[in-house]
Amino acid sequence: MRLKILACKVLYRELGLLSATCPHFLDITYLRQGYHDEPQLLQAVLQAEIDKLEEGVDPYSCDKKAGDFDAICLLYGLCSNGIVGLHSNKYPIVIPRAHDCITLFLGSKERYREYFDKHPGTFWYTKGWVENTVMPGTDYYKYYYDLYSSTYGEDNAEFLAEENLRWLKEYNTAAYISMPGVDDGVLAAKTKENADYLQWQYDELPGSYSLLSDLLLGKWDASRFLVVQPGDTVQPSYDELIIK
């Protein structure tokens, strides 16, 4: 089977590890982290990638002379409805049933739901997240302090940087997901440092490759994956299946 993978860059290390031993041909395009902050932009970027694949003009994918793709796999969750409306007229689109990428790191939507119900104020950290963006903590404050001081002067920078942390008041826990084979403990320690700085609790959970691995292996049971047939579009289902 030949699969085209469109994935957020926070999954770079995990997909690299899995793709090395996957029996199927995987052609992976990574998109910049952060598009989920603007769901309409995420939808536009993903749809543009799908359209280019259909037209054979995608600059990142293998030459079609090597063989066409059997399906497009999206390594995204619903992501604030950022995948709603996506469609292909040529390829099936396979999507894990997940609200966001944290389900992909934890291995199932049930595990994510169970933890969320017990710890509703959790901010999640992974190696890919820490490497690809500025996470809440000491670096987050410094980033905005430096940004504001260059624009508004040092007298105002401290106040503005503190204001930029205000939205974090709804959180109380920093949870780091440690993925086997890609973690060395350094970023887990950094997450603990951030939790101490923010006066949050710290928790560390072992990650699971079960959902990611089965997606790449083509084990697409309907309870965990949605296969959108050519001509159909992705929609939220507003139930435990998440998408339809």
pLDDT for 151-190, tens place per residue? Answer: 888 878 888 888 877 888 899 999 999 999 998 889 999 9
What's the pLDDT tens digit per position in 132-152?
999 999 888 888 888 888 888
Domains defined for the chain, CATH in brackets: 2-99+209-228 (3.40.50), 105-206 (no CATH)
Distance between CA atoms of residues 73 and 104, nearest Å = 13
Predicted confidence (pLDDT) per residue in 198-212, tens digit: 999 999 999 999 999
Q: What is the pLDDT of residue 155?
A: 79
User: Is there a contact between 101 and 132 (Cβ–Cβ < 8 Å)?
Assistant: no
The answer to whether 49 touches 56, Cβ cutoff 8 Å, is no
193 in Cβ contact with 200 (< 8 Å): no
Tens of pLDDT, residues 63-100 = 887 889 999 999 999 999 999 999 999 999 999 999 99
User: Six-digit token pair at 229?
Assistant: 């047939």
Tokens of 137: 């903590």
Please state the pTM of the whole predicted model: 0.92
Phi, psi (deg, nearest 5) at residue 32: -55, 140
